[in-house]
Structure 1
Amino acid sequence: MDDTTLWRRAFWGLARLAVAMALFVFVPAGTLGYGRGWVFLAVFLGASLAVTVRLLRSDHALLERRLKAGPTAESRPLQKVLQGLAGLGFVGVLVLPALDVRWHGPRWSWAVSLGGVVLVALGYGIIARVFQENSFTAATIEVGAGQTVTTTGPYAVVRHPMYAGALVLFLGIPLALGSPWGFGASALVALTLVGRILDEETLLVRDLPGYEAYRRQTRYRLIPYVW
């Protein structure tokens, strides 16, 4: 993919994400005066833009892998189902808190919501660090040509640090939006991450030389001292 096409696809995808997320937040809320929604979207989309720009400058191959995403991009049937469920969870974690705030008002103080925003930023920071360490973090489950096992940085702590960052991010969203209603959708996303990890490790043990040894060396998959 040439540079111009990559830039166009990356920013068009980001623009569509921004529009979709704004609709999922503000339409259920019934108002544009949803301050927590604006703060959350500014941080989430700002982090997305920063990561996209960095990849455009330093790692086109990784950005191309990340642009190939979603259920239809997966080759494994189970992953198609899991990605579909994760997509529903992503929509739910935005829509449900917005509905709750519309009908009942924010459940928490601004201090709690700002704490949620910090978790969103922290989750994105973990993901960005993973991208820096491993250029093969595709959005689909596959082993790329020339891929080797990454054991450094966050991969020395857990085997799937990108999913750990996503878990932190999705725990922060309901707090940021001011409602516990989103935690049910966050739980759905967490369950899909568990299923995705278990299936992915089957592929990696089979197709990525050295992964079995790495799995024995790095005990925890997602959360240190837990799992």
Structure 2
Amino acid sequence: MLVVALRLMADGGLVALMLFASAGTLAWWRAWVLLGVLMVVRVAGAAVIARVSPTLLRERARLPLHDEQPSADRLLLLAVLATGFLGLPLLAGLDVHRWHVLPPPAPWLSSIGLVLFALGWGLKQVALRANAFATTVVRLQTERAHAVVDAGIYAVVRHPFYAADPLILVGLGLWLQSSTAALAAVVPVLFMVLRLQLEERFLLRALPGYDTYMTRVPHRLVPGIW
């Protein structure tokens, strides 16, 4: 699992680079707490998932591109990563330490942001544990007998992995006390929704049984709403 550990460290390092380079200082305790929560939740999740889906972990540790991946999915995935998981930490550092575009959120709201951030990453780990086919790219995994997963959290919403993104991205901005970054989270979330819809059309066309799964579980991200 060395490749998985290296990927986790690389992801954390990229987020740290965006945060501290944009802030111009390492003396930003909220950023250190955010990174600590990120690594603890992801490492703990990887340890659990490794017991049930080691192949999935190795697959997700690779670069988020695949020869069988539709070009539209590739573009949307890169857009989510660039504007969300890299762009928002960069924006938060610039806003908090240089720009001060909007007043910061109240301390209690910032604390809620950290809870949302942790819950979002926790939800991603739960989704990965339940779905051994939740790879980074949209493709039909014929080599692993790809099948519909409708157990656990996938019996509640069809895309729990994506449902975590708004929690993570908005929570990040709130905890770092950047109202601007929290509001800007709408951009990567919109890209995520477009990608979700593309993935659903692909699965409906290519994966047997997905149409009946959509009937059984009618909501994509939020139970009772959408």
1:101 corresponds to 2:82: no
**Aligned counterpart, 2:131:** 134
Count of matched residue positions in the alignment of Structure 1 and Structure 2: 221
Is contact 1:92–1:185 with CA below 8 Å preserved after alignment?
no
Structure 1: distance between partners of 2:211 and 2:62: 27
Structure 1: distance between partners of 2:41 and 2:212: 34
Structure 1: distance between partners of 2:108 and 2:129: 31
The Cα shift of 1:123 comes to 0.8
Q: What residue identity is the alignment partner of 2:58?
A: E
1:41-120 equivalences under 5 Å are: 41-71=35-65, 75-89=69-83, 90-103=85-98, 104=100, 107-120=104-117
Structure 1: distance between partners of 2:25 and 2:50: 35
Is contact 2:49–2:129 with CA below 8 Å preserved after alignment?
no
The Cα shift of 1:85 comes to 0.9
| CA displacement 1:20-69 (0-9 Å, x = unmatched) | 21111112112211111111111012212222222334321111221234
**Aligned counterpart, 1:3:** none
The Cα shift of 1:83 comes to 1.3
| CA displacement 1:163-204 (0-9 Å, x = unmatched) | 001222112110111101213542121111111111111111
Could you say if the C-alpha distance between residues 132 and 71 of structure 1 is closer, same or farther in structure 2, counting changes exceeding 3 Å? closer
Correspondent of 2:15 among 21, 29, 42:
21
Which deviates further from its counterpart, 170-179 or 104-113?
104-113
Q: What residue identity is the alignment partner of 1:83?
A: L
Structure 2: distance between partners of 1:70 and 1:41: 22
Is contact 2:46–2:125 with CA below 8 Å preserved after alignment?
no
Q: What residue identity is the alignment partner of 1:95?
A: L
Structure 2: distance between partners of 1:133 and 1:170: 23
Could you say if the C-alpha distance between residues 148 and 71 of structure 1 is closer, same or farther in structure 2, counting changes exceeding 3 Å? closer
TM-score, normalised with respect to structure 1: 0.89
Structure 1: distance between partners of 2:152 and 2:27: 41
Which deviates further from its counterpart, 36-45 or 51-60?
51-60
Structure 2: distance between partners of 1:200 and 1:172: 25
**Aligned counterpart, 1:4:** none
Correspondent of 1:34 among 8, 18, 28:
28
The Cα shift of 1:106 comes to 7.6
Runs of 4 or more off by more than 4 Å in structure 1?
71-74
Is contact 1:141–1:200 with CA below 8 Å preserved after alignment?
yes
TM-score, normalised with respect to structure 2: 0.90
Could you say if the C-alpha distance between residues 142 and 156 of structure 1 is closer, same or farther in structure 2, counting changes exceeding 3 Å? same
Structure 1: distance between partners of 2:107 and 2:20: 18
**RMSD of the TM alignment (CA)?**
1.9
**Aligned counterpart, 2:4:** 10
Is contact 1:100–1:179 with CA below 8 Å preserved after alignment?
yes
Q: What residue identity is the alignment partner of 1:68?
A: R
Structure 2: distance between partners of 1:167 and 1:82: 16
Which deviates further from its counterpart, 103-112 or 12-21?
103-112
